[in-house]
Structure 1
C-alpha cells in the first residue's frame, strides 16, 4: 500500500504537481509518454532544477506551440477516449477534466458541453492533467491525503477579465475542502490544480501517520519573496511511529455518500457489512447539493477483509464510488465476562487500560433475551445489569460474577 501526502500550503497548479512527481522519482518519460498519447499538437515536458525562497525544487516546463483552438469538454473526452492511455490513467484524467468542466460551466451558467473554456482546452492543461494522472498511477498511490489548500488573495487576470482570488472556478472546485488565503496576495491555486487535488484526494488533513520514503518538491513559475512557491509530495507507506514496523497495517475507513437508497434498507446493509468482515459500520445523516438529504456510509475494516467489504458495499447500495483512508487506532484490551440477572446469563464486555478496568457494559442482545425470558421490561433488566457491572469497575476481577 502506498500512502501519499500532498502539502498544498503554498497552493497548487498542474505544473507544480508535475515537478513534485518528478522530484519524488517518477521518470519524466512516464509523464511524456502519457501526454504524447493524447496531445493533438506537439507538447514537450522540460525539467529544470530551481530554487524557491532558498529551497531546492523541480520545475517542469510544458512547452507547447501557439494554438488558437479552444476545446470543450466534449473534445477533451474524445481525445482521452481515443488515446492509447492505460485505463487507470485515462479514468483519473477524465475525472479531473470532468470536475473542471462542471465547475467552469457552473460559474458561467451553462452546461459543460456548451461552454468553450480556454482553461480546459489549452494544451498545457491537457499535459498537466494527463501527466499528473500518469505520475500518480506510476507511484501506485492507494491513499492520497491533501493538506488544507492555500488559495491566495487579491485579483488575477484571466481570459474573462480581472477576477477576484480565488477565481470563481477554483472556489467552486474547492467547495467542502479545507482552504485558506495564505500569506501572499496572489493566485495560489489554479483551476487545474484544484481539479487535480480534489480528484486525487481520499482525505484532507495534515500529514497522516506514514513512513516517508520519497519527497518531491515541485516549483511554480513565480518566486515571491519570503515564501517558497512549491508543492511537496511525500510518498511512503502507512505507519504511526507508535508500533514496530512488523505490526499489522492500519485499518481502513471506507466511506461513500448515498442519496437514492430507500432508508428502510440501511439496517440490512449495515448487518451485511459486519457479517462480511467490517469491524464497525455506521450511518451519518448529511445534506448534499441542491438540498438533498442523504447519508454517509462508513465502514472500518482490516486490510485483508477490505476487498470483500468494498464489494459488499457496491452490491448492497447504489453508490458508484468509495473514499478510502488508513487510520491510526488505539484500542483498549478487552475481554468478555458474565453476570446473571434473575438466573439469566448476560455477557459483559470489559475494557482495561494498563490493566485497570475502565469500562464494563452488558451486551444489549443478551439483556433483551433475558427480559423476554423473565417477562420483565427491557429497561428494568438493563438497569439491574448495569448496576451489577459496577462491580467490574470498583474491583479488578478476572472471573465472572453472579447474583
Structure 2
C-alpha cells in the first residue's frame, strides 16, 4: 500500500501540489498527454527546478498556447471531464474537486450549484492544475493521501469579486471540518489548492508512521523571504499500528436512502464513485418497499467532514429525493500490506493486525482479478494460489507482522 502525506504548513495552491507530485516521481509526459487530449491547443506544461529559500523544488508552470479560451462554467467543466479519456480514478477525482468548488462557491454567493461561474478557478490554468494533480496522483499509484493542518494566510487579496479578506470565503468553506491555521501574511491557500486537498485526501494529521520511499517539493510562483513557499509530499508504506482495548473508536456517519425507480446498471458506478470521493465503504441492501415494490437501500459510511459532499453526490447521482444520516462508532483493526508472488507476478496481501500479530490475511481482489485476466486463468484458481502463497510466506492468523 502506498501512502502520501502532504505537508501544507506553508499553504497550498494547485500548481504547488502538482509540482510536488511531479517531484515525487509522477511522469510529466503522462500529465502533458492527458492535458493535451482534454483541452487541445490551449495549454502547455513547463516543468523545471527552482529554489525557494534554501530548498530545491519543482515548479509546474501552466502556460497558455491559445489566443482565446472558451468560458467554462461548472456544468461545462463537468461535461468536459465526464466525456474525457482520463484514467477513471483521475477523472472521478477531478470531478469531485470541481464539485467541491461549485458547492463552496454556491454557498458563499447564495446561488444554485448549477449556476456557479467560477471566475478564477474556472480559468484554463486552474483546470490544468486540477486535472494535472489528479493525473499525477493516479500515476503514482497512491492508495491513500492525508494532509497536515493547512496554512491559510491573513490580510486581504484582490479577486474577481473585489477586495476580500484572507482566507477568502471559498477557502474557509472548503476548510470546514479540517484543522487550519493562519501561517503567515498574504493568501497562502487558494480555492483550487484547498479543493484538491479535500478531493484527494482522506484525512488530516501529522506525518503518519510509514517507511519513507521518496519525497517531493512543489514551488509556487512567489518566493517569500524567510519562508520557503513550497508544498511537500512524502510517499511511503504505512507501518501498522497497535490497536487495543484502550483505543477510542472512530466516529463516522452513515448515509442511507431507499431507491426503487433507478436502472440497476447504474449502481456499480455510483458505489465506485462514492469510494473515490472518500467514502470508507458503500454498499446496497435489497429491500421490499410499500406496495410490494423491490428496491435497494444505499448505505454510505464516511467521516463526518465528508458527509455533505457525499450526500450531495447521492442526491445528484441517484433518483432519490432524500438521505437519512446517523452517527456510528467504528472499531477497526490496524491494516497493512505484504506481497507474494503468484504465476511470476506480484499480488498484495491485506493484513488486519493487533498487538503485532496477524488477525486476517486476504489477497487483494483487484490484483488477483488482473492476474487471472492477464494469464487467462480461472479467478478461483488464482485466488487459491494467492492464499497458498500467503500461507507459505507466513502470512496467516496468529503469525507476527512482517517487519514488526
In the superposition, the TM-score normalised over structure 2's length comes to 0.64
In structure 2, how many angstroms separate the alpha carbons of the residues matched to 1:114 and 1:40?
26
Cα distance, 1:53 vs. partner? 1.1
Q: 2:239 matched to 1:207?
A: no
What is the match of residue 292 of structure 2? Answer: none
The question of whether the paired residues in 2 share the 8 Å contact of 1:72 and 1:120 is answered with no
Q: 2:143 matched to 1:142?
A: yes
Secondary structure of residue in 2 paired with 1:223? coil
What is the match of residue 218 of structure 1? Answer: 218
Cα distance, 1:40 vs. partner? 5.3
Write out the 4+ residue segments of structure 1 that deviate beyond 6 Å after TM superposition.
282-290, 326-329
- 1:83-139 Cα distance to aligned partner (Å, 9 max, x none): 111111110110011001111111011112212221332111111111111111111
The question of whether the paired residues in 2 share the 8 Å contact of 1:150 and 1:180 is answered with yes
In structure 1, how many angstroms separate the alpha carbons of the residues matched to 2:130 and 2:352?
29
In structure 2, how many angstroms separate the alpha carbons of the residues matched to 1:286 and 1:104?
18
Is the alpha carbon distance of 1:329 and 1:303 closer, same or farther for their aligned partners in structure 2, counting shifts above 3 Å?
Answer: closer
The question of whether the paired residues in 1 share the 8 Å contact of 2:252 and 2:329 is answered with yes
Secondary structure of residue in 2 paired with 1:141? coil
What is the match of residue 9 of structure 2? Answer: 9
The total of aligned residue pairs comes to: 287
What is the match of residue 315 of structure 1? Answer: none
In structure 2, how many angstroms separate the alpha carbons of the residues matched to 1:22 and 1:13?
14
In structure 1, how many angstroms separate the alpha carbons of the residues matched to 2:189 and 2:305?
28
- 1:27-84 Cα distance to aligned partner (Å, 9 max, x none): 1111112212212542111012111111111101000145464311100011111211
Q: Cα RMSD between the aligned structures?
A: 3.6
Aligned pairs (5 A) from 1:11-50:
11-39=11-39, 41-50=41-50
In structure 2, how many angstroms separate the alpha carbons of the residues matched to 1:133 and 1:35?
11
What is the match of residue 298 of structure 1? Answer: 330
What is the match of residue 88 of structure 1? Answer: 89
Cα distance, 1:165 vs. partner? 0.5
What is the match of residue 194 of structure 1? Answer: 194
Secondary structure of residue in 2 paired with 1:154? strand
Cα distance, 1:168 vs. partner? 0.5
In structure 1, how many angstroms separate the alpha carbons of the residues matched to 2:23 and 2:302?
41
What is the match of residue 233 of structure 1? Answer: 233
What is the match of residue 253 of structure 2? Answer: 257
Unaligned runs of 5+ in 1: 244-252, 263-271, 273-281, 306-325, 333-403
Secondary structure of residue in 2 paired with 1:33? helix
Cα distance, 1:294 vs. partner? 2.4
The question of whether the paired residues in 2 share the 8 Å contact of 1:284 and 1:295 is answered with no
Secondary structure of residue in 2 paired with 1:59? strand
What is the match of residue 363 of structure 1? Answer: none
Is the alpha carbon distance of 1:8 and 1:165 closer, same or farther for their aligned partners in structure 2, counting shifts above 3 Å?
Answer: same
Aligned pairs (5 A) from 1:25-174:
25-39=25-39, 41-64=41-64, 65=66, 67=68, 69-174=70-175
Cα distance, 1:301 vs. partner? 3.9
The question of whether the paired residues in 2 share the 8 Å contact of 1:6 and 1:232 is answered with yes
In structure 2, how many angstroms separate the alpha carbons of the residues matched to 1:110 and 1:66?
31
What is the match of residue 373 of structure 1? Answer: none
What is the match of residue 181 of structure 2? Answer: 180
The question of whether the paired residues in 1 share the 8 Å contact of 2:171 and 2:191 is answered with yes
In structure 2, how many angstroms separate the alpha carbons of the residues matched to 1:287 and 1:118?
25
In structure 2, how many angstroms separate the alpha carbons of the residues matched to 1:288 and 1:107?
19
In the superposition, the TM-score normalised over structure 1's length comes to 0.64
